[in-house]
Structure 1
């Protein structure tokens, strides 16, 4: 028993020394740069979660000149759509269409059924193209998953000193940003397919206009910030010597 206890004590001591050596190789300046890049990517991560979780990606507006005191508008995202009946008096003067959708009114929000039962959604006598909508949602979720993996890699770098994961985290953040931008483009095609999917059955489909809203803007910002954060992590993985010829003072200080 004494032999095994000594063996485990020596093994634990060896691991502690190895861990301390790994941590010692990371200078406080380098660790500070990693934390600064992580702060940048955390902004992109927050915008990405906000964009994917909200339904203000696009607003659909009918025209006001319908001879009624109310008009209809709608806004939708990856998971849910909301139709709203607004009072004409609340619509800003000089606006030809109903909206914006943030105005108070009678709202009816429902989740898309094509994620559960496979049914298409119908908005203003128009039918969604579920395959395109589902593709946009799946790509966005995949982007969030890759982003979470990148965050885990950087946390391991800071907590365990595993600097080889810095490059892996950079790849994850860059791929996440690209996936979010691809999801936005696929969603744009789903909006075009919705506007063209006019139902031939009565009543006639109302004329519509559309405008992209703040959730989609958050998605664009998130994709760009994540790609910028990826580039920052990649720069931190480069050795200092290639820059010595361009910046002699900086290269001398780095050595």
Structure 2
């Protein structure tokens, strides 16, 4: 029995040495509890950014378009739109704050009419308050945002593989994915801003005359900005975890190694 016990122990030690040599050959470091905790904290931070990104892309409160209140009318019109659809609303002027010259905010209760943009299906531009969208710019903003979400999902998958399988080399890939997704969301926000400017300029010459409009960016766009910054921060944290420890160890020596 003792002979078999020694044999199994030697076999287990041999397997551990082979696994360690394979990790060294692949540039992997053992996943210590401290390192695992740091990776989990980075994943939690990235999960917050991912939640904000999905919330921003899936909602339509990126920008609000407000008409001016007209005298003698009990109602006024406003609209809000995002990457996928727009909603026009007829609001009661009595609900609009007294110090506000324009109709809104769009969150007020009223008669709403929401439609998805037709340029995703039939290729037609949308018409809002006698103005026409520029579908190429709107499509570009939506496509870039979707690509950002896909890259973000790949980053989450890479970090989960690091925690579950010990594939430490995927941590650098996850860091790049999170940083790239944050940049793509920022680009999508900028392209959407250009689409709003193009919408305001493309006034239809056909009657009735186009009403004067003001616009203000809303909370969905704020979620997108927050998601971009958090994802960039998460990617930076993962990238720091992939750096070799020796530069930091030389800058911060332990007390036990200091000369007496």
Q: Give me the TM-score of the superposition, normalised by structure 2.
A: 0.88
Q: CA deviation at 1:93?
A: 1.1
Unaligned runs of 5+ in 1: 1-9
> Among residues 123, 129, 149, which one is paired with 1:124 in the alignment?
129
- Give 2:86's aligned residue: 81
**Counterpart contact for 1:244–1:251, Cα < 8 Å:** no
Query: Does the alignment pair 1:234 with 2:244?
Result: no
Corresponding residue number in structure 1 for 2:114 = 109
Listed as ranges, the matches of 1:147-162 within 5 Å are: 147-162=152-167
Structure 1 contact 59–75 (Cα < 8 Å) conserved: yes
Q: Which residue of 1 aligns with 2:31?
A: 26
Q: Matched residues in 1 for 2:256 and 2:137: separation? A: 51
User: Which residue matches 1:143?
Assistant: 148
Shift of residue 24, structure 1, vs aligned partner: 8.7
- The structural deviation recorded for 1:67 is 2.8
**Aligned equivalents of 1:198, 1:125: Cα separation in 2:** 6
Q: How far does the alpha carbon of each residue in 1:115-152 deviate from its partner, in whole angstroms, 9 at most, with x for none?
A: 00000000000000000000000000000000000000
Match of residue 169 from structure 1: 174
SS at match of 2:104: coil
Q: Which runs of 5+ in 2 are unaligned?
A: 1-10
Residue in structure 2 matching 1:47, options 33, 52, 60: 52
Which range is displaced more, 189-198 or 236-245?
A: 236-245
Determine the C-alpha separation between the residues in 2 that align with 1:112 and 1:88: 28
**Is the 2:29–2:168 contact (alpha carbons within 8 Å) kept by the matching residues of 1?**
no
Total equivalences in the alignment: 239
The question of 1:95 aligning with 2:100 is answered yes
Corresponding residue to 1:207 among 205, 212, 219: 212
RMSD value, Cα: 2.1
Structure 2: how far apart are the matches of 1:235 and 1:251?
26
**Offset, 1:239:** 1.2
Specify whether residues 108 and 247 from structure 1 end up closer, same or farther in structure 2 by C-alpha distance, changes over 3 A only: same
Structure 2 CA distance for partners of 1:71 and 1:250, relative to 1, 3 Å? farther
Match of 2:250, SS state, is coil
Q: CA deviation at 1:244?
A: 2.3
